[in-house]
Amino acid sequence: MAPQVAQPAAAVHNGPAPDDSNPVGPPSGLSSIPTQYTSEQTLRQMLKSIGYDEAREDGYRLKGIQLINSVRQSLHLPVKTFDTAAIYYHKFRIRFPSNEYNYEDVALSALFVACKAEDTVKKSREILCAAHNLRQPHDRKMPDDKIFEGPSRFTVGLERHILETIGFDFRVQYPQKLLIKMVREIFPREDFNKGGEGRRFLQAAYDMSIDLYKTFAPIKQTTFTMVLAILELTALVLETSPEKTERLKTATAWHAERACVLETMLDLLDLYTQFPKSTKIGSQFDLKNLINVKIDINATVTQEKHQRYHGWCDRCGPDVLDTRSLTPGSAISPATNSSLPGGNSVKRKRAASEGTQRFVFDVEEARREKSIVARYFTDEYEEHEIEVEEPIKEPEPRQSSRSNHPHRNHSHNHTDYGWSPYPRSSRHGHHNDRHRSRRGHGY
Per-domain boundaries in the chain: 30-172+362-372, 174-305
345/349 Cα distance (integer angstroms): 12
Of 27-36, 151-160, 225-234, give the lowest mean pLDDT range. Answer: 27-36
Q: How confident is the model at residue 347 (pLDDT cuts 50, 70, 90)?
A: very low
Cα–Cα distances (Å) from 107 to 85, 172, 240, 300, in that order, read: 8, 17, 36, 37
Angle at 268 between CA 266 and CA 271, to 5 degrees: 110
| Whether pLDDT at 57 is above 90 | no
251/390 Cα distance (integer angstroms): 82
Spell out the residues 6+ positions from residue 173 whose beta carbon is closer than 8 angstroms to its own.
Answer: 83, 87, 218, 222, 223, 226
Is the backbone of residue 125 left (phi > 0), alpha (psi -120 to 50) or beta? alpha
Of 135-144, 295-304, 311-320, 387-396, give the lowest mean pLDDT range. Answer: 311-320
Looking at 1.10.3470, 3.40.50, 1.10.472, 1.25.40, the CATH number of the domain 174-305 comes to 1.10.472
Angle at 343 between CA 339 and CA 349, to 5 degrees: 55
Provide the pLDDT for residue 342. 36
383 or 438, which is more confident? 383
55 or 213, which is more confident? 213
397 or 68, which is more confident? 68
Q: How confident is the model at residue 129 (pLDDT cuts 50, 70, 90)?
A: very high
Residue 273 near residue 241, CB atoms below 8 Å = no
Residue 67 near residue 107, CB atoms below 8 Å = yes
User: pLDDT, tens digit, for every residue of 356-365?
Assistant: 566 677 778 8
Of 7-16, 93-102, 171-180, 254-263, give the lowest mean pLDDT range. Answer: 7-16
Q: Three-state DSSP class for 357?
A: strand
2-6, 238-242, 300-304: which is most confident: 300-304
| Whether pLDDT at 220 is above 70 | yes
The domain 30-172+362-372 belongs to what CATH superfamily? Cyclin-like (1.10.472.10)
* Helix or strand holding residue 30 (H, E): strand 30-32
Q: How confident is the model at residue 283 (pLDDT cuts 50, 70, 90)?
A: confident
DSSP 189: G
Per CATH, 30-172+362-372 and 174-305 having the same topology is answered yes
Spell out the residues 6+ positions from residue 119 whose beta carbon is closer than 8 angstroms to its own.
Answer: none
Q: What is the mean pLDDT of the chain?
A: 76
Q: How many residues does the chain have?
A: 443
Residue 143 near residue 125, CB atoms below 8 Å = yes
